[in-house]
Amino acid sequence: MRRPWLLGLLLALVTVGIVAALVDSEVSGTGAENVGESGPERTVTTQSPAQEPAVERAPRRCKAIASNPGGTNNYIPDAPTRDSLGSGFVITGLVRSADGCRPLEGVRVQVWLATQTGGEQDNGTSVRTGADGRYRIETDPTVPQFGEPNIHVGYDDDEYGEVFIRRVVDLDDERAVVDLTLARRG
Amino acid sequence: MAERRALALGAAAGAIVALPLMLALTDRHLADASPALVLSTAAGTLAASALAIQPLLARRRRIARHQLLGSVVLCLVLIHVGALFVESPGDAWFALSPDGPTRARMALIATIALFGVVALGALRPRLPLKAGTWRLLHAYLALVVIALGIGHAVLTDGALDDAGTTVLLVLGAVGLLGVPAAHVARARRERSAGDAS
């Protein structure tokens, strides 16, 4: 070895590059926060603007949620409406309008995930929000088909801008909460 | 004495291969899994076991077997990845993308290093590298493959959790410690050969 320091420097630089590439990544993928919960389900009451005290306020605006990478993985448009996808795990969330932060009733949300009964392409459903702006679907527990249990929630109807969300949960979680704040199209 | 030692080493190598594979294939996560996911898991598990054995073969100067097993590891990794593409192309592409999770990035870097270390082994006679340079590069890439390959397996939820994680950590420790041990053994052999002459 004529110049051992040169090779040592090269390998040190490669090591720094590898460490930087790993540190730069997100543990579960970009934007895939852990939304899993366990224990008794919380009961949440949503206060609509009509119930709020009648005081003069500037128009409220909530930040619209953005799609995150991997959100459309295994998406099949127009999933059929089903009462449930099994039992043992609940996916729920509040759907609001970015303009006014109001809960949105009757909005169709699509949910898909891998469970013991099949992969993400086999386990999808459409579910509508209730009067309180919440959707809820019970499923079999999600399984780590690709190294970590993950769920997808999407909206792609006409009224609001489309969003496709990928989130992760832990193996022993019983619930996932994915809230969506939607902005009008155009 | 030598025969008994060879027998014990053979048994240890057998256990290194069989135990993780048995744990993975009997895990509840694979109970209803597709054939592609079972194949991918089995191939990845066998590759992890082989990574622990490789430095032991190098230390005992079983170079032909070391080279053969290196090629086998590369094939196993390609089968592992290929089966994941069969299982879900969208998830597989996402895993390899810049937005993929840390465990996938570890796997990607480990696979690139694996190509490098196998190429170094296969092309050694034709490469214009001094023996010391070649050995350092080969050892460095081998350490990257073992550290990130086993790290990828540890961070992956599924068939090798709990006891499986412990087994993976042991495989990683055997592999990572085996690389410098193989070099120390070679240096000792060269020193004693020098003393004898």
Both tokens of B91, joined, read 């998830």
Residue B91 and residue A70: Cβ atoms within 8 Å?
yes
**The residue to which tokens 């949440």 are assigned:** A44
DSSP character at residue A47: -
Please report residues of B whose CB lies closer than 8 A to that of A21.
105, 109
Task: List, as ranges, residues 81-120 from A with C-beta within 8 Å of B.
Answer: 116-117, 119-120
Distance in angstroms (rounded) separating the CA atoms of residues B182 and B192: 15
Q: Are A87 and A117 in contact (CB under 8 A)?
A: no
Distance in angstroms (rounded) separating the CA atoms of residues B121 and B135: 10
Q: Taking each helix axis as running N to C, give the angle between helix B35-59 and helix B2-25, from 0 to 180 degrees, rounded to the nearest 10.
A: 160
Tell whether A17 lies on the interface with B, counting CB pairs under 8 A: no
Q: Are B141 and B70 in contact (CB under 8 A)?
A: no
**Best interface-test mutation with B: which of A146, A151, A167 has the largest number of B CBs within 10 A?**
A146
Q: Looking at this protein, which amino acid is placed at residue A26?
A: E
**Best interface-test mutation with A: which of B102, B114, B130, B141 has the largest number of A CBs within 10 A?**
B102
**The residue to which tokens 């034709």 are assigned:** B126
For residue B159, what pLDDT is reported? 87
A55-100 per-position pLDDT tens digit: 556 668 899 999 999 999 999 999 999 999 999 999 999 999 999 9
Both tokens of B55, joined, read 């430095």
Return per-residue pLDDT of chain B as tens, 197 residues: 678 888 888 898 899 999 999 999 999 888 888 999 999 999 999 999 999 999 999 998 899 999 999 999 999 999 999 999 999 999 999 999 999 999 999 999 999 999 999 999 999 989 999 999 999 999 999 999 999 999 999 999 988 988 999 999 999 999 999 999 999 999 898 888 877 76
Residue A145 and residue B136: Cβ atoms within 8 Å?
no
